[in-house]
Chains A and B, each alone.
Chain A
């Protein structure tokens, strides 16, 4: 890779395409801000939206004294060896996004983390939506086509204040030799909404993550949607955790998983700690070629009047569904692809159209390559 890469446009055409697949717009037509980091170098930071600040972590920490109070508040620094690794860094990289009170983004902000030459890329990101703010973020994480063995460790802390809303859509497009360990958590205050979408349909060596939502405010809401495909050689160990600690809090964890030969462990845990809370876990898995889908939905209720449920199903496409479509004139391959496309077609309530389009595009790309 050339040394003088400063902007996304400087990347090779192939790498630009890899980024585009993660929903990032090089031209930024439909984006209200950008953060772009290659390996450990931050290349571009900008925001065009009033009331929204995008800063590097180091700039933000020197600009705002209060910000240090948010460091490691949602994610414990000693959670595991990966958080400890990031915590020990003397010069931590990453971004801070602050949506000021009442501000709203029309277009999503994009954050791009690109792994090119480093063996390890680490980031620490902090995202704050102040009272009544509405923030949409699309994070695209990808590695260069030439990238060899590499590891990405990302700590992300979300703070959603009273009546605020964050939708975070993360699309991964790593390489077959890349291991990825995101560590993220959110704290959601009264009437706050956190909507987290995760899409990974391309080969990767290993991804292991289990973002945690702490629903601390009354009537706070968290929804996690994951749409994942595991190809041969990929191990996706994915989960989400929701701690319902305030009255009226609710959480929904939804997963659509397909294996074409790889392994998917789909975990989910909802803890109903307080009365008048609700939670539901849904995991549906399709095994297209011999591989593993291991669904582990867990629910725990500690009090009367917490309503928790889960459903999980793993299997193949039903023969009668394929034949039904064949009787309408579709050949077997088209019928199968049409059903798979429908299986993955999760319309996410409250998601801006541009972000839904990006998810759809990622599924289209996977469909074209025959999953």
Chain B
């Protein structure tokens, strides 16, 4: 699904991602962990193709196609999607209007998913304007469900979400990643940033990666990595030099 080879990324004059290699196969879910400011969000944004991130070396392949220089919307068309940790507020643009555009005016689908995510009363509201943390995440998941990407990147889907909403968002994300489909037939893949690991209860993630200062420092079982981080902190985790 996704192959990243020897990726180096600069913001301005400063290199922030160094020699990143990552392979995510069809049907796989990967978890990305690491301290604040380690470059996790930058990696997701680079994969999506956002501006301000300058790829100086390396390549990104998606479904076998070199997308290193492909515009954002083309990546979306190819089947890539992203849940933003802090999406922008777009005053005036109604959530329902955007969903109408992205669903190809499929009102039935919009209604069904909006209801599922308790967002039906938000369709006439400006995107993210005055939304609470949980509402922002539900809006993000709703947009992704309409988009139905083959590869979905989730940037801290549980941050700012209360426990009740975590269940809802977790179940929706499980649907997005076809966790109800047998592993052999599962096609959808994911890359998820998490600090708390709550989302792992819904994800059944296959691989975990720890990033620090723009490099991968550890790969392994996500639950085991999280256990070490939770008990001993990132310092201990990074000291093990397992990579």
Q: Is the CB of A323 within 8 A of B84?
A: no
- Picked from A318, A328, A341, A342, the residue with its CB within 8 Å of the CB of B76 is A328
From B76, B87, B93, B147, contact of A345 by CB (8 A): B93
Check A321/B88 contact, CB under 8 A, given A328-B98, A328-B147.
yes
Asked if A70 is at the interface of the complex by the 8 Å CB criterion, the answer is: no
Q: Pick the residue among A320, A321, A329 that contacts B73 (CB under 8 A).
A: A329
Q: How far is the CB of B171 from chain A (nearest CB, A)?
A: 22
A321→B143 contact, CB < 8 A? no
Q: Are A324 and B90 in contact (CB under 8 A)?
A: yes
Contact B102 A323 (CB under 8 A): no
For B93, what are the chain A residues with a Cβ–Cβ distance below 8 Å?
338-339, 341-343, 345
| B128 to chain A: closest residue by CB | A324
Bound complex: CA A86 to CA B82 (Å): 61
State the total of A-B contacts with C-beta under 8 angstroms: 72
Interface flags for A331-365 (1: CB within 8 Å of B; 0: not) read: 11011001101111110000000000000000000
Known: A329-B77, A342-B97. A320 touches B88 (CB 8 A): yes
* B71 CB contacts on chain A under 8 angstroms: 326, 331-332
Contact between B92 and A338, CB atoms less than 8 A apart: no
The answer to the question of A288 belonging to the interface, with a C-beta cut-off of 8 Å to chain B, is no
Chain A interface extent, by class: 20 to 34
Is the CB of B184 closer than 8 A to any CB of chain A?
no
A4 at the interface (CB under 8 A from B): no
- Nearest A residue (CB) for B78: A329
A319 within 8 A of B: yes
- Nearest-neighbor residue (CB-CB) of B76 within chain A: A329
Within 8 A of A (CB), among B63-104: 71-73, 75-77, 81-82, 84, 87-88, 90-94, 97-98, 101-102
B147 touches A329 (CB 8 A): yes
Which residues on B sit within 8 Å (CB–CB) of A346?
92
CB contact between B97 and one of A321, A335, A338 (< 8 Å): that residue = A338
- Does A312 count as interface, using CB distance less than 8 angstroms? no
- Inter-chain contacts of B101 with A (CB < 8 A): 330, 334, 338
CB pair B91–A342 under 8 Å, yes or no, is yes
What residue of chain B has the Cβ atom nearest to residue A330's Cβ? B73
Residues of the B chain whose Cβ atoms lie less than 8 Å from the Cβ of A284: 91
Assess whether B51 is interfacial by the CB under 8 Å rule: yes
What's the Cα separation between A176 and B146 when bound, in Å? 44
A335 to B51, CA, bound (A): 15
Chain A residues lying within 8 Å of B87, measured Cβ to Cβ, are: 324
Indicate if the CB atoms of A344 and B143 lie closer than 8 Å.
no
Q: Is B48 an interface residue (CB 8 A)?
A: yes
Contact A330/B51 with A323-B72, A338-B93, A342-B93 known, Cβ cut-off 8 Å: no
**Residue numbers in B under 8 Å from A42 (CB-CB):** none
| Chain A neighbourhood of B48, CB < 8 A | 327
Contact call B143/A328, Cβ cutoff below 8 A: yes
* Chain A residues within an 8 Å CB radius of B90: 321, 324-325, 339, 342
Task: Check if B126 is an interface residue, CB within 8 A of chain A.
Answer: yes
CB–CB A326/B76 < 8 A: yes
Assess the A327–B97 pair: CB atoms within 8 A. no
Question: Measured between C-beta atoms, what is the minimum distance from A345 to chain B in Å?
Answer: 5
* Chain B, residue nearest A347 (CB): B124
Partner of B98, one of A318, A320, A325, A331: A325
A328 cross-chain contacts in B, Cβ below 8 A: 76, 81, 98, 102, 143, 147
Q: Which residues of A contact B126 (CB under 8 A)?
A: 342
Per the bound structure, the CA–CA distance linking A319 and B88 in Å amounts to 10
**Neighbouring A residues of B102 by C-beta, 8 Å:** 328-330
With contacts A319-B51, A329-B77 taken as known, whether A345 is within 8 angstroms of B92 at the C-beta atoms is: yes
Instruction: Please name the residue on chain A nearest to B81 by beta carbon.
Output: A327
B50 within 8 A of A: yes
State the CA gap A124–B50 with chains docked (Å).
56
A323 to B98, CA, bound (A): 14
- A343 nearest CB neighbor, chain B only: B92
B50 and A323 form a contact (CB under 8 A): yes
Which of B81, B92, B98 is within 8 Å of A344, CB to CB? B92
- How far apart are the CA atoms of A59 and B89 in the complex, in Å? 54
Nearest B-chain residue to A324, judged by Cβ: B88
Q: Are A338 and B94 in contact (CB under 8 A)?
A: no
CB-defined contacts of A341 to chain B, threshold 8 Å = 92-93, 97
CA gap between A227 and B76 in the complex, in Å: 33
Chain B residues closer than 8 Å to A342, beta-carbon distance? 90-94, 97, 126
Contacting residues of chain A (303-318) with chain B, CB-CB under 8 angstroms: 318
Minimal beta-carbon separation of A338 from chain B (angstroms): 6
Identify which of A328, A332, A335, A341 gathers the most chain B CB atoms within 10 Å of its CB: A328
Quick one: CB contact mask for A257-288 with B, threshold 8 Å, 1 for yes? 00000000000000000000000000010000
Could you name 25 residue pairs across A and B whose Cβ atoms are closer than 8 Å? A319-B51, A320-B88, A321-B90, A323-B50, A323-B72, A324-B88, A326-B71, A326-B72, A326-B73, A326-B76, A327-B73, A327-B76, A328-B81, A330-B102, A331-B71, A332-B73, A334-B101, A338-B93, A338-B98, A338-B101, A339-B92, A341-B97, A342-B91, A343-B91, A346-B92
Beyond A327-B76, A342-B93, A345-B93, 8 additional pairs, beta carbon < 8 A: A323-B72, A324-B87, A324-B90, A327-B82, A328-B143, A332-B73, A341-B97, A342-B97
Chain B interfacial positions (CB closer than 8 Å to A): 48, 50-51, 71-73, 75-77, 81-82, 84, 87-88, 90-94, 97-98, 101-102, 126, 143, 147
The 10 closest A-B pairs by CB, nearest first: A342-B93, A342-B92, A326-B72, A329-B76, A326-B73, A331-B73, A345-B92, A343-B92, A320-B88, A321-B88
